[in-house]
Amino acid sequence: MKERIISHERSMAASKENVMVSIILVSYNRLDLLRDTISGVLKYFTGFPQEIILIDNDSNEPLVDTIKEEFPQLIVVANKRNVGFGAANNIGAQAAKGEYLLFINSDLIVSGNPVPEMIAMLQTNDTVGIVGCQLMNSDGSLQPSYFRFPSLMMRFLQLTGLKSAILKILPQVQYARYRAEALDFVSGAFFMIRRTLFHEINGFDEHYFMYIEDADLGYRVACRGKKSILHSSRDVVHLGANYEEDTNPFVVFHMNRGLLLFYKKNYSTPKYAALVLMSVAFYMIKIVAYSWKKDHPIQKKQYITLLRLYWRTFTRRYDFGEAFQD
């Protein structure tokens, strides 16, 4: 386990031994969203013994002191540096006493309580390993809350833009319904897992800084013969964007980095090589295309960064344990 550089305080109110659910969330700035999330959790998530554990990833804002003052019942872990999303959640899980761990994002609007029924879904079926929740967008539409494991076909559709084209022509294939059957993996923005199972699979893989760590966790749970399912509640709005459609350079980099790590860890060498070669070819074409455009220097630089990431990873000159950004 990596060395932790943290300041850890546990309030007396949260130190009881009979905790059923440990609610764990990670923060990095955006005190306004965090405050609303915690307020909603405290208002609606009632009827079961609980503790709320907040791990702050070295926010630039005076977030920790404010939260301690406004919500003294929380357990607060203040990291001295940003250790990443999965690693921060692992810190929360280490401090947790609950039988069940509920991982939630810090940008939620809560208007109801799906937690007791999520607990029941785990209690009544030993084959279920993870229970997610149907998340909503702020406009009342369904937000993608479950996904398939990464595949070469989906990667091809994403790189070529065919996925967006298909969705425009056939909007009915877009995410538009809740599914009750077993899923590949559920959104990491809101899900519950038994604490024992979480520790058996060694929690989140901390080599992922952000993104794809939920797919990796779901994959390892599936390899244990456990299912991931979704609760049908529509009481939780997730304000975060769908990561598959995010064009922020930081997000794009870590999405690609996470995808590379997922293939390298979990798939065969030929499949991993196919991912790299497909991506390298696409980024080379994009770099050549943008070389003729004087008004898109940022996009060209981003593609060069991604090309270097894929090539260095494939030639084993990139260590996933090194600095998170190159």
Residue-by-residue pLDDT tens, the chain, 326 positions: 443 444 444 443 444 568 999 999 999 999 999 999 999 999 999 999 999 999 999 998 889 999 999 999 999 999 999 999 999 999 999 999 999 999 999 999 999 999 999 999 999 999 999 999 999 999 998 898 999 999 999 999 988 888 777 777 766 555 556 666 789 999 999 999 999 999 999 999 999 998 999 999 999 999 999 999 999 999 999 998 644 455 678 888 889 999 999 999 999 999 999 999 999 898 888 888 776 666 666 677 888 888 888 888 777 755 565 433 33
User: Which pair of structure tokens corresponds to residue 68?
Assistant: 């301690």
SS3 labels along the chain: CCCCCEEEECCHHHCCCCCCEEEEEEECCCHHHHHHHHHHHHHHCCCCCEEEEEEECCCCCCHHHHHHHHCCCCEEEEECCCCCHHHHHHHHHHHCCCCEEEEECCCEEECCCCHHHHHHHHHCCCCEEEEEEEEECCCCCECCCEECCCCHHHHHHHHHCHHHHHHHHCHHHCCCCCCCCCECEECCCEEEEEHHHHHHCCCCCCCCCCCCHHHHHHHHHHHCCCEEEEEEEEEEEECCCCHHHCCCHHHHHHHHHHHHHHHHHHCCHHHHHHHHHHHHHHHHHHHHHHHCCCCCHHHHHHHHHHHHHHHHHHCCCCCCCCCCCC
CB distance 45 to 113 below 8 Å: yes
pLDDT of residue 3: 39
The whole-model pTM stands at 0.87
pLDDT of residue 323: 39
Which burial class, exposed, middle or buried, applies to 192 when counting CB atoms under 10 A from its CB (0-12, 13-18, 19+)?
Answer: buried
pLDDT of residue 325: 39
CB distance 79 to 88 below 8 Å: yes
pLDDT of residue 296: 62
pLDDT of residue 294: 64
In this structure, how many other beta carbons lie within 10 angstroms of the beta carbon of residue 8?
15
Enumerate the domain spans of the chain.
Answer: 6-242, 249-314
pLDDT of residue 2: 44
pLDDT of residue 126: 93
pLDDT of residue 7: 45
pLDDT of residue 128: 97
Pick among 3.50.50.60, 3.40.50.300, 3.90.550.10, 3.40.50.2000: CATH of 6-242 = 3.90.550.10
pLDDT of residue 301: 81
pLDDT of residue 36: 96
pLDDT of residue 289: 77
